Amino acid sequence: MDPAGGCPHARNARLMERGAVAPVVLPGDVPGMVVLGHDALKEFLAHPDVAKDARHFAALADGRIPPGWPLRTFATVRGMTTADGDDHRRLRSLVSRAFTIRRVEGLRPRIEQLVDELLDGVARQAAADPVVELRSRFALQLPMRVICELFGVDEEFRDRLHHLSSQVVSTGTTPEEALAANKEMVTVLAQVAAARAKEPGDDLTSALIAAREEDGDRLSQEELIGTLILFVIAGHETTLNLITNAVRALCGHRDQLALVRAGTATWTDVVEETLRWDSPVSYFPFRYPTRDLTVDGTVIPRGTPVLAGYSGAGRDPAAHGPDADRFDLTRPAKNRHLSLGHGAHYCLGAPLARLEATVALERLFARFPGLDLAVPDDELPAHAGFVGNSVRRLPVRPGPDARER
């Protein structure tokens, strides 16, 4: 696996020639595997003999993974993404009620307000310069603001947390950079937790602290910080990539955008087809078989670190037909994808990500109907690292503002 990342789709095609399950070499010459066939991945994600707890990671348990290994945080952060069974249910239950479809729908007015404010900023920028960097000015700002408001993260911390998140999820950092980023991330989020402990508010961090103080067995300090790391990173990085990839897809497929404008397809269709066709997360670390496990005819040895190949599963011809590489909003069962996970660890924030992306895209293209990329898509610099799947910049020409007509 190339630590520098890049577009995953050509790599997935080569890997799929070996089968739905393939061996890979992770950074630092650590042997691993990737499951990237749709049916194989669905089976693997829900298999009872597959764990998330890093005590099942053989190379880590044997001391063969150095402290500065760039993927170590994915394995060792304390929280629901690295917990199994009762521990996982305990940690998930502490925040799950805040992410139900009904609770998330209650956030719609605030999300719509934020989107309109951000689009006002895009319009002001476009008035001064016809090219606007949409990823940083819009696609990033919406999910970052929403997740930070939900968890009571003060504005002074937000830019730094995004920078640190980008380093934590990058697979190309040096050991020194990885250690420094993780240490600072813990420090910053400990400051956030201390601020909410001193001045509790109507936010999830305050609620988590209250739960810990009422019953210390429900949540340790390390688990509190680990939960914040998970939600700050996953709560904005994935939606950032989703919105970015959807804009790119629509700009590159004007016929599909025309279907939405004609009412033949919906913005929900856009979000689901983008999730399938260009998953915002490409290869997510890690799961570990607790015994030698055969998946789609391939043996995955016990304790092997396994990547969930969401971008590969999304374009698997066996599941999506011979035209799986085509972006098609009229595709039957377009939501038959695994990009938000499957089984016990299905993405808790899925309703929020879907709502944010749907509102963002609908209002963006209504406000700027002539919006297009300012450079060809294949010239956009790829996302750093192989975990996330997107581009680092999204320069666009918004065109005329519909509100000024």
Across 330-335, average pLDDT: 76
Among 67-76, 250-259, 328-337, which is the least confidently predicted range?
A: 328-337
Q: What is the pLDDT of residues 342-365, one digit of tens each?
A: 999 999 999 999 999 999 999 999
Q: What is the pLDDT of residue 336?
A: 85
Angstrom distance (rounded) from CA 250 to CA 256:
7
Across 108-115, average pLDDT: 96
Residue with tokens 């290869």: 283
The proportion of the chain whose per-residue pLDDT surpasses 70, expressed as a percent, equals 98
Q: Which residue has the higher pLDDT, 223 or 271?
A: 271
Among 39-43, 66-70, 326-330, which is the least confidently predicted range?
A: 66-70
pLDDT at 214 over 90: no
Q: What is the pLDDT of residue 130?
A: 95
Q: What is the pLDDT of residues 81-107, one digit of tens each?
A: 999 999 999 889 888 888 888 889 999
Q: Give the E-state strand segments of 13-68 in sequence order.
A: 21-26, 30-35, 50-51
Angstrom distance (rounded) from CA 353 to CA 345:
16
Q: What residues does 31 pair with on adjacent strands?
A: 25
Angstrom distance (rounded) from CA 224 to CA 206:
11
Q: What is the pLDDT of residues 226-257, one digit of tens each?
A: 888 888 888 888 999 999 999 999 999 999 99
Q: What is the pLDDT of residues 154-186, one digit of tens each?
A: 888 888 888 888 888 777 778 888 888 888 989
Angstrom distance (rounded) from CA 296 to CA 316:
14
pLDDT band at 126 (very low <50, low <70, confident <90, very high): very high
Quick one: which of 301, 275, 260 has its CA closest to 390?
275
Across 54-67, average pLDDT: 94
Mean of pLDDT over the chain: 92
How many residues comprise the chain?
405
pLDDT at 218 over 80: no
Q: What is the pLDDT of residues 287-303, one digit of tens each?
A: 999 999 999 999 999 99
Q: What is the pLDDT of residue 94?
A: 86
Angstrom distance (rounded) from CA 296 to CA 201:
49
Angstrom distance (rounded) from CA 341 to CA 227:
18
Q: What residues does 132 pair with on adjacent strands?
A: 396
pLDDT at 221 over 90: no
Q: What is the pLDDT of residue 333?
A: 72
pLDDT at 29 over 70: yes
Angstrom distance (rounded) from CA 48 to CA 51:
8
Q: What is the pLDDT of residue 234?
A: 83
Across 305-329, average pLDDT: 96
pLDDT at 74 over 70: yes
